[in-house]
Amino acid sequence: MRKKYFYTHIIDTSTLSLELGNMDLAPKERLHLISLIDSNIHHAVLDLILSELNSTDKKIFLTHLASESHDKVWKFLKEKVENIEEKIKKTVEDLKQELHKDVKEIKEK
């Protein structure tokens, strides 16, 4: 079961999952790779957000994040970071393109 993050509703990783599904992988390997993709995306999103906040706001954001209160996280981010949803979408799309490229290279080997 994939973890639901506060930004899950605005991103789509199904193309990566489908691409992995088309590879000759054991189910356990595929799940592991999907987990790594989710982790990479999560770290990229957190890196983006933390780079946009001052030190006080970082602490507040991390507190909301730790409480897993998605509504509080969004309300806070929308107040503090201009166009945060678009920035997250772009960050994730850029990472997905890199990951698609990596998968394509692996398939060609």
The DSSP code sequence of 75-92 is HHHHHHSTTHHHHHHHHH
**Number of domains the chain is built from:** 1
Q: Is residue 59 part of a domain?
A: yes
pTM of the model: 0.90
CA distances from 43 to 23, 38, 50 (A): 25, 9, 10
Under the banding of pLDDT at 50, 70 and 90, the label for residue 61 is very high
Range of the domain at 19: 10-108
Each residue of 1-22: pLDDT tens digit?
Answer: 567 899 999 999 889 888 888 8
**Helix, strand, coil percent values for the chain (each to nearest 5):** 80, 0, 20
Contact 31, 17 (CB under 8 A): no
Q: Is residue 26 part of a domain?
A: yes
Each residue of 82-109: pLDDT tens digit?
Answer: 999 999 999 999 999 999 998 888 878 7
Through-space distance between the first and last CA atoms of the chain, rounded to whole angstroms: 30
Q: Is residue 3 part of a domain?
A: no
pLDDT of residue 103: 86
Residue 55 DSSP one-character state: H
